[in-house]
Amino acid sequence: MKKTVFVALAVSALLGACQYKSVAAPELSARDAEYIALVPKFDTYLPYLPYEIGDPTGQPPGTIYIDTKEKFLYLVLPNKKAIRYGVATGDEAYGWTGEAVVQRKAEWPRWTPPAEMVKRWPHLKPVAGGMNGGPENPLGARALYLFQNGHDTLYRIHGTNEPETIGRSASSGCIRMRNIDVIDLFNRVPVGARVVVV
C-alpha cells in the first residue's frame, strides 16, 4: 500500500513539473474573425497547441527557433521561457535550414507563387500573377518574410487554410502555423527578429 501511494505521489509530482502553461488566444479584428470562420475547422493534436514552456533552445530572448524535425516553432522569452507552437514544415526535398531575419510583416498578405512552384504545379497558373489575401489564400492570416543578408529567401512563416497539415511535412519550405497562432506570433515579434531554422 505504501509503495503504491509513493509511486502515485512521484508520478503526480513528475506530471505536475511537466505541465505547460496555456497561451491565451490573441484578440481578433472583425476581418480576422470573418476570414478565420471561413477556413476549414480541424481539431489540432494537443501537443501542437501553443504553450509557454521552459526554453529548450538556449537562444537569446526574441529569437524565433524552428525545429523542422519535431515540427515546433519556439519564440524565446526572457527568464528561460519560450512559447512553443506547432507548425508544418517543408517536404524533405523542399525544406531549408539556416538563419534569417524578419524583414517584413503583413496581415492577410497577397500571395504570388514563385515561378518554380508554378512550373512544378501547373494548376497554379491561374494565380501566377498573384492572389489577394483572404481565407482561400495559402498564406493565411499573417506572414513574416524571411531575409538573409538583405535578400528575400522566398521563405515565410505564415498562416494556412489547411490547418490539418500542422505537425507534418507539407509545405514547399515555408513554415505554416494555425491562423490564430500566426496572429499571436505576429503581434509579439518585431521586424528585425532573428530566426533560426534547424
Q: Which residues are catalytic?
A: 158, 174
Please tell me the distance from the alpha carbon of residue 137 to that of residue 179, in angstroms, as a whole number: 12
70 φ, ψ (degrees, to nearest 5): -85, -15
Strands (E), the chain: 21-22, 51-54, 64-67, 72-77, 81-86, 89-90, 98-107, 142-148, 151-158, 169-171, 175-176, 194-197
Question: 3-class DSSP state for residue 48?
Answer: helix
Give the C-alpha separation, 158 to 18, whole Å.
Answer: 29
Other beta carbons within 10 Å of 6 = 10
